[in-house]
């Protein structure tokens, strides 16, 4: 989709005092101190600065106040001689810099002649350095069961960690839930006061809001009830782009998780008949539902008789037989007509079922679009605007480039932050192309991968957050018509930085959006469609989609009126005749 810079992280150092020794500067004959010159001539290494001093002298130096000279500071910026690609954390002691490279914590020697890098803690969950720089805390293992070690802060961890591990099994922490809930309430109230996009808090008396809601804390007995109070409090600001994050709610660790095959069934005399198996793209092998995976010969119409030897006569029987078996091999005994056979499947989790159901929905919409347009119009769905979704968009974008029409569906989109990436692809325009002189083969456009056809965007009342920002950009920039219903109206951007003590939170809208003329936009209103089309609940339940039909009809009409011209090279002139100049393209 664009240029990537995966190894951008580098480390730089500033010399605050130009007269002080600086261990990242390679000295020469003019800058070398007399002491270092003597050590060089004597054949000893003076690169480590404090190494040659006795303890009293080092302590005397440490007691001196730091001298920072701001004049010329930018000219005293030095690059640490380490390979790019580090970042995430940075700690330092007298001998080493500690940072991350991928999942590992690495130690980089503070040595201007040889900044040797070694893996200090492979795959560490976390890392911290004591204030005196002598001890490092390393967290390893899994987030559910971490192992903490206190080790010397040197170039590598000790080979044997056992003596350094903290014994956590017998730790007992006294938690007063009501006190903790009160603290989280106060923290959420303060963070709204300090971070909300409007410093005037929309004219709301925020102290009065606290006074009205804080007494409710005395009546709650569950963390979920705190979330209710937090939601009531945050709602006083009337911000649509705000959510309560659950926090540390009690979980059910006793009952097994449900598992699913990704199909619908009807009870029959012999067991459960498979009426329909969820569909997905063939190349998304890892995301296929269990009954469509390679090596599994199960078809719609087959009857499930037994699951691991257990008879199933109802959907409840199937749920119980599969419970706790997600990701495990399960034997299905089935009947197909008069033939009985068996197969091994691996059921999926509830999250897997949700993903498979979405992919099935996309396949149905893609097929309907192709049928309604005789294959002339492509279809791309964006369920959200996150990293997985930009990957999905990149995979789906390129097969559409030769189609004269394209529908981008952001209905039910719950947001993220990739709107500019998708908009940038839509803004690409073809101004030239490369081709064989005889016109054979596939021409290549410049700009590369620019879409030359006509686009329509589907929106509805559940298009939210960054989905709305994408729709707003499409409308403001004139890239495509919007079809459907006005979007949700959650237009104030936020972050996840205001977490509470148990990792829950009440997300605080921090940055209002404005149009170029300074008008406040989106929040509380949304983005209105160019063509308003409703999908009534009853019709949607029956599988009808008037919005998709309207988009296809609009694009078919546009394609008929403004067909996409073919890229056909004109005959080349004879030798000695130069090529011509370019002409400005018409405005969109």
pLDDT digits (tens, 9 = 90+) for 214-243: 999 999 999 999 999 999 999 999 988 888
Buried b (16+ CB within 10 A) or exposed e, 436-453: eeeeeeebebeeeebbbb
Please give the pLDDT value at position 63.
66
292-330 pLDDT per residue, tens = 999 999 999 999 999 999 999 999 999 999 999 999 999
Predicted TM-score of the model (pTM): 0.84
Phi and psi for 407 in degrees, rounded to 5? Answer: -110, 130
pLDDT of 204 higher than 80: yes
Domain 177-245 has CATH 3.30.750: yes
Q: The domain 373-491+526-561 belongs to what CATH superfamily? A: 2-enoyl-CoA Hydratase; Chain A, domain 1 (3.90.226.10)
Q: Provide the mean pLDDT of the chain.
A: 91
Query: Rounded to whole angstroms, how far apart are CA atoms 182 and 246?
Result: 16
> pLDDT class for 56, splitting at 50, 70, 90?
low
Cα–chain center distance at 575: 55
Please give the pLDDT value at position 45.
54
Q: In which region does residue 449 sit, left (phi positive, over 0), alpha (psi from -120 to 50) or beta (all else)?
A: left
Q: Is residue 396 within 8 Å of residue 403, measured between CB atoms?
A: no
58-71 pLDDT per residue, tens = 555 556 788 899 99
Q: Which of 13-22, 49-58, 195-204, 272-281 has the lowest mean pLDDT?
A: 49-58
Query: Rounded to whole angstroms, how far apart are CA atoms 419 and 459?
Result: 14
Of the candidates 219, 98, 221, which has an alpha carbon nearest to the alpha carbon of residue 152?
A: 98
Task: Indicate the SS3 state at residue 263.
Answer: strand
Please give the pLDDT value at position 111.
84
Query: Rounded to whole angstroms, how far apart are CA atoms 91 and 88?
Result: 10
**Partner residues linked to 304 by β-bridges:** 272, 334
Residues of each domain in the chain carrying CATH 3.30.750 = 177-245
pLDDT of 44 higher than 80: no
Query: Rounded to whole angstroms, how far apart are CA atoms 182 and 217?
Result: 7
Q: What is the 3-state secondary structure (H, E, C) of 140-187?
A: EECCCCEEEEEEECCCCCCCCCHHHECCCCCCCCCCCHHHHHHHHHHH
104-113 pLDDT per residue, tens = 999 999 987 7
Task: Indicate the SS3 state at residue 211.
Answer: helix
241-275 pLDDT per residue, tens = 888 998 989 888 788 889 999 999 999 999 999 99
Q: How many CB atoms lie within 10 A of CB 557?
A: 11
Residues of each domain in the chain carrying CATH 3.90.226.10 = 373-491+526-561
Please give the pLDDT value at position 255.
85
45 versus 160: the higher-pLDDT residue is 160
Please give the pLDDT value at position 49.
47
Please give the pLDDT value at position 412.
96
pLDDT of 75 higher than 70: yes
Query: Would you call 542 exposed, middle or buried from its count of C-beta atoms within 10 A (0-12, 13-18, 19+)?
Result: exposed
Query: Rounded to whole angstroms, how far apart are CA atoms 477 and 479?
Result: 6
Share of the chain above pLDDT 90, in %: 76
pLDDT of 51 higher than 50: no
Query: Rounded to whole angstroms, how far apart are CA atoms 247 and 260?
Result: 27
Q: Is residue 104 within 8 Å of residue 123, measured between CB atoms?
A: yes
**Which CATH code fits 263-348?**
2.30.42.10
Q: Please give the structure tokens belonging to residue 558.
A: 């546009």
> pLDDT class for 512, splitting at 50, 70, 90?
very high
Half-sphere exposure of 127 (CA within 13 A, CB side): 28
> pLDDT class for 54, splitting at 50, 70, 90?
very low
pLDDT of 284 higher than 70: yes
Query: Rounded to whole angstroms, how far apart are CA atoms 115 and 477?
Result: 50
Q: Which of 245-254, 407-416, 438-447, 502-511 has the lowest mean pLDDT?
A: 245-254
Quote the Cα angle for 190-196-199, to 5°.
Answer: 95
Bridging pattern class, strands 77-79 and 12-14: antiparallel
Bridging pattern class, strands 454-459 and 482-484: parallel
Task: Indicate the SS3 state at residue 271.
Answer: strand
527-578 pLDDT per residue, tens = 999 999 999 999 999 999 999 999 999 999 999 999 999 999 999 999 999 9
Residues 6 or more apart whose CB falls under 8 angstroms from that of 65 comprise none
461-490 pLDDT per residue, tens = 999 999 999 999 999 999 999 999 999 999
Please give the pLDDT value at position 58.
54
Residues of each domain in the chain carrying CATH 2.30.42.10 = 263-348
Query: Would you call 362 exposed, middle or buried from its count of C-beta atoms within 10 A (0-12, 13-18, 19+)?
Result: buried
> pLDDT class for 47, splitting at 50, 70, 90?
very low
């Amino acid at each position: 989709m664009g240029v990537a810079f995966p190894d951008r992280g580098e480390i730089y150092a500033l010399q605050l005092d130009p007269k002080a020794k600086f261990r990242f500067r390679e000295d020469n004959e003019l800058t070398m101190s007399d002491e270092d010159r003597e050590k060089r001539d004597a054949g000893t290494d003076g690169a480590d600065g404090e190494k040659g001093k006795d303890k009293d002298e080092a302590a005397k130096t440490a007691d001196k106040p730091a001298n920072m000279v701001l004049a010329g500071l930018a000219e005293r910026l030095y690059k640490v001689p380490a390979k790019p690609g580090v970042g995430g954390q940075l700690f330092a002691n007298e001998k080493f810099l500690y940072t991350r490279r991928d999942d590992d914590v690495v130690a980089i020697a503070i040595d201007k002649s040889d900044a040797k890098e070694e893996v200090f803690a492979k795959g560490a969950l976390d890392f911290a350095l004591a204030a005196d720089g002598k001890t490092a805390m390393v967290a390893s293992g899994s987030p559910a069961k971490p192992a903490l070690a206190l080790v010397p802060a040197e170039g590598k961890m000790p080979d044997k960690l056992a003596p350094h591990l903290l014994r956590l099994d017998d730790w007992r922490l006294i938690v007063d839930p009501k006190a903790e809930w009160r603290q989280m309430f106060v923290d959420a109230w303060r963070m709204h006061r300090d971070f909300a996009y409007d410093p005037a808090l929309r004219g709301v008396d925020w102290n009065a809001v606290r006074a009205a809601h804080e007494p409710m804390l005395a009546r709650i007995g569950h963390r979920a009830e705190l979330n209710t109070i937090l939601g009531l409090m945050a709602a006083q600001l009337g911000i649509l782009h705000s959510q309560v994050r659950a926090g540390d709610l009690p979980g059910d660790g006793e009952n097994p998780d449900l598992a699913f095959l990704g199909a619908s069934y009807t009870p029959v005399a012999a067991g459960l008949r498979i009426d329909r198996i969820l569909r997905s793209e063939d190349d998304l092998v890892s995301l296929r539902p269990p009954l469509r995976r390679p090596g599994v010969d199960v078809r719609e119409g087959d009857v499930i008789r037994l699951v691991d030897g257990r008879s199933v006569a109802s959907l409840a029987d199937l749920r119980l037989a599969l419970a706790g078996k997600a990701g495990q091999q399960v034997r299905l005994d089935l009947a197909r007509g008069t033939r009985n056979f068996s197969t091994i499947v691996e059921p999926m989790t509830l999250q897997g079922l949700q993903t498979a159901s979405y992919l099935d929905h996309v396949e149905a919409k893609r097929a309907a679009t192709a049928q309604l347009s005789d294959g002339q119009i492509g279809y791309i769905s964006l369920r959200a605007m996150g990293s997985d979704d930009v990957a999905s968009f990149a995979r789906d974008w390129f097969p559409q480039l030769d189609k004269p029409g394209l529908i981008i569906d952001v209905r039910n989109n719950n947001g993220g932050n990739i709107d500019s990436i998708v908009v940038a692809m839509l803004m690409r325009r073809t101004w030239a192309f490369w081709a064989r002189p005889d016109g054979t083969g596939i021409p290549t456009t410049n700009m590369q991968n620019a879409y030359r056809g006509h686009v329509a965007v589907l929106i509805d009342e559940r298009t939210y957050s960054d989905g709305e920002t994408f729709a707003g950009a499409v409308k403001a920039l004139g890239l495509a018509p919007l079809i459907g219903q006005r979007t949700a109206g959650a237009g104030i951007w936020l972050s996840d930085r205001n977490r509470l003590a148990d990792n829950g939170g009440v997300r605080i809208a921090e940055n209002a959006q404005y149009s170029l003329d300074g008008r406040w936009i989106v929040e509380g209103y949304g983005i209105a469609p160019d063509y308003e089309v409703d999908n009534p609940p009853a019709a949607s339940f029956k599988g009808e989609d008037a919005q998709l039909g309207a988009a296809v009809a609009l694009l078919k009409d546009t394609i008929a009126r403004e067909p996409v011209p073919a890229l056909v090279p004109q005959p080349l002139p004879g030798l000695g005749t130069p090529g011509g100049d370019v002409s400005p393209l018409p405005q969109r």
